[in-house]
Structure 1
Amino acid sequence: MLIVVVAVVLAFTLGGGDNSSDEPKVPTASAVAMLLPESEFPDITGEFTLETEQSDDDGTTVDNEKCAQLVNTPDTSADFAQRELSETVDGGEVFFGLDQYSADVTKPADGGYDDFDDILSACETFTLNLEEDGETIPVAMKLDEQTLPISGDYKAVRMTGQFSISDIEVHMVGTLVVGEERGVSFSVSHNTFSDSAPSVSSEVTSNLAEMYTAQRQQIADAA
């Protein structure tokens, strides 16, 4: 269930949108080939996963229809790839305070970059409803536009969420940075959970800026 909440942070790049007729010709390289390599991720102890299919978050709804793009089934006909690094620790199960970084590529561009401002304006606050074992768990969400030390065009948002599960209050904070290059959509993101309101460190912000720049260069250099 918690994975669904994390997935919402990435959903901006999975939404539809009309493609302009004057968009540049996309690279011939596959989404996987253009994806940020493991060596360009932050140096943390963790496990990498690679996905080449876009997920459908069944049972997830929102209280504002303008925010439905956040949970709608994406266009599965697109060439998509996502690499994720989830921090791990030795000596038992730990959930709170762990970092999760990801990068994804979608070709051709899916319209998420053009739709970004409209979504941010309409969904500054909303409720995400998760269905878990026949029960509805409301998650109070808040979006805030962010500024990062990145040269060139980009759009960034911080998403915070709060919900309760098994009488434990859970807080989530995620930062998403999206862009387009050569007719290809891409994004990088960071997520973490806490039992109190979490903050985002300058190290995370710097890591995301470096990942974004490297991911854009991967696409710019692609065949």
Structure 2
Amino acid sequence: MKYKHLFFDLDHTLWDFERNSSESLTEIYHNSSLTDHGVSSMELFIQSFLDINTRLWDDFDKGKLHHSYIRENRFKMVFAELGIACPPNHVEIGESYLNTLPTKKHLLEGALNALEYARSAGYRMHIVTNGFNDIQAKKISSSGISHFFENVITFESANAKKPDPGIFAYALQTANASTGECIMIGDNWVADIMGAKQFGLDTIYYNPAGLKFDDQPTYDIRRLEELMMIL
């Protein structure tokens, strides 16, 4: 067995962010009566949020903005993009999203099988995420995968975020591991793959869309079940 430690990203790699977000936003759309505020299409509301949220998190990964900016502004930006006056309860909408989202349990296809296989094969598993401590802990608990992981390393606990080498150094220290024993598994090319590679870790790029870049990961997979052929 070449590796002893598996470092997994959480959102978009194991935890189905799009599906869980869409469920949460559907509830918010109805519970907050957004039609009364001029939001005529739930589908447009959800798609606008997902697009804006992705752009904001990409900017966060690149160090262009702070976490708090995302929380404070993403729904304002959604309403602006939809050409609608920001509702007076937009702060409550943001809080409702943060409270509802982590309670959702959907994992990406193949995630549970891959985790069960890795555990049965004797791998030690850890989460390395740029998310918040409280939110990520709730997501992991809600989706029933807490028992797979020895450690959950967040940007808050590491005081560094992917792709910063500091979070990978903290992850190795926490796991009491060396670089050659570890492999990073994630969907984000910049944060997960380039960050880990530049730190000296092997990488598995979960790449369902088949994206191409100038550089190469150690492994490139379309489906999480492919992990069982690598590990």
Q: Same fold (TM over 0.5)?
A: no
**Could you say which structure has the higher strand fraction?**
1
Q: Give the greater-gyration-radius structure (CA).
A: 2
